[in-house]
Amino acid sequence: CDLENKMSKKRGLSLEEKRQRLLEIFFEKKDFFQLKELEKIAPKEKGITSMSVKDVLQSLVDDNIVDSERIGTSNYFWAFPSKALNNRKRKISELEEKIENLQTKKCDLDKQLMDAQHGRDDTSDRQEILKALAQKKKERTVLSDELEQYRLCDPDVLKEVKQQTRVAMDATNRWTENIFSLKSWCRDKLNLEESVIDKQFDIPEDLDYIS
């Protein structure tokens, strides 16, 4: 952990790392804080620069992870692991539903593409299918990135949501497997080079499974 902190200080903390470390203050101390208090605690205990605390805190409030309330002339902030857990469970459920919908749409596009490939004529229908498939690929990438962010949570919370996260990751990997299967079909049946397939379907060379 000390080595990780030293490395983070050397390369600088990402926004997600700052969010996580600021959350740790709430979870560990189980208390209410004003902004000025967090600006003193965060640099000493979590390596977050005082100037960035306000923006990081606001991002957590905007995401409904940290609560805030104005009492008198001061604003107070607090967060509980149970709420963070429920928010992550809800988000993961939404992502799983989106991935499932994308999978259904991809299957329909695969079938249409197979039909269009019979003649391999560069028809407008075929071009529309290719565009739609490329769009679903981009949506998959966005969802995968979101899932990755939700893996970066407090260790205690991570234990409780690990299983739900794994289900979502497995669904994403099945989507990736389908893309690889489609590439294999085009390579074997249509005698196309993988580089040609990647270029035609706008598939990135570094497409891989999430682990």
* Residue 187 predicted with pLDDT over 70: yes
Q: What is the pLDDT of residues 24-57, one digit of tens each?
A: 999 888 889 999 999 999 999 999 999 999 999 9
* Token output for 30: 């189980």
Is the separation of the CB atoms in 146 and 112 below 8 Å?
no
> Does the predicted TM-score (pTM) go above 0.85?
no
Phi, psi of 203 (to 5 degrees): -95, 125
CA distance 86 to 180: 34
